[in-house]
Amino acid sequence: MLNIERALVICAHPDDEVLGLGGTIKRMTAAGIEVNVVMFANGNEGYPTLAEKDSIVETRRNEREAVQKILGISHFEAYDYGDYAIPANEVTYKICMKAIRAYRPQAVFTHYWREYNTHKAVASIATDAFWQAGWTCSLELGDPWKPEALYYFEVIELLHQISHIVDISDTLEAKLEAMKAYASQCSVVPGALRQLEGKAFMRGAQAGVNYGEAFLKNTDRPEIIL
């Protein structure tokens, strides 16, 4: 998974990329892998006080830019959908297709498909685009590109099966730093930081290391052994 040149993360909300695979992103960028992120929502609902309602989108944009630096993300392609308003439709599907063809990743990372509704929408379009981007069609969206693998990460729900655990012992600190950079969100979900650490602890323990992040490799596109 880490033996690639370029990775693409397709996620819903500002902080999903950190909660899901912040430690893995940091490991990848530290190893010289180019990591790009497509993010659909602008964070408009995550205001922990009414007073912050009008400024929350800007706040989260600034937080996101800080996270980009902390994790070393190359392009952060962020869209302006409301937090509860990410559709699975032609527009968002084409965003995924285009990003896969433009960034040409070997590995794509996205939400797990048994999840919260907007996450499910992203999981659905990213999964299909992962596969259809390699077809000779819709050339306006770029030249066909076949990523080698698609991995689901875990944000809210635990994955029901896991196929990979990445050792993030050395990058947990960056993951925590990134989550703290999303300062506005740390009070939205009570105990979010502790949950982040609890999951990292447990996934690490399962792998015999200090901290870990878990993934499930999609099998819609089998690995071909020539």
Binding site for a second copy (CB under 8 A): 1-2, 45-50, 53, 82, 84-85, 87-90, 93-94, 116-117, 124-125, 128, 132, 135-140, 158, 160-167, 187-191, 194-195, 197-199, 201-209, 214, 216-217, 219, 222-226
- Least separation in angstroms between CB 45 and a second copy: 4
- Least separation in angstroms between CB 104 and a second copy: 18
Quick one: 66 or 113, whose CB is closer to a second copy?
Answer: 113
Quick one: 75 or 183, whose CB is closer to a second copy?
Answer: 183
Q: How far apart are CA 138 and CA 7, in angstroms?
A: 22
Nearest alpha carbon to residue 109 among 159, 60, 170: 159
Query: Is 3 within 8 Å of 31 (Cβ atoms)?
Result: no
Q: What angle do CA 12, 107, 195 make, to 5 degrees?
A: 45
Quick one: 75 or 145, whose CB is closer to a second copy?
Answer: 145
- Least separation in angstroms between CB 87 and a second copy: 7
The pair of structure tokens assigned to 100 is: 């896969």
Distances (CA, A) of 126 to 149, 153, 213: 12, 13, 20
The pair of structure tokens assigned to 116 is: 């919260």
- Least separation in angstroms between CB 30 and a second copy: 14
166 — phi, psi (to 5°)? -100, 130
Q: Which amino acid is at 88?
A: A
Quick one: 32 or 225, whose CB is closer to a second copy?
Answer: 225
- Least separation in angstroms between CB 33 and a second copy: 13
Quick one: 47 or 103, whose CB is closer to a second copy?
Answer: 47
Q: How far apart are CA 110 and CA 91, in angstroms?
A: 18
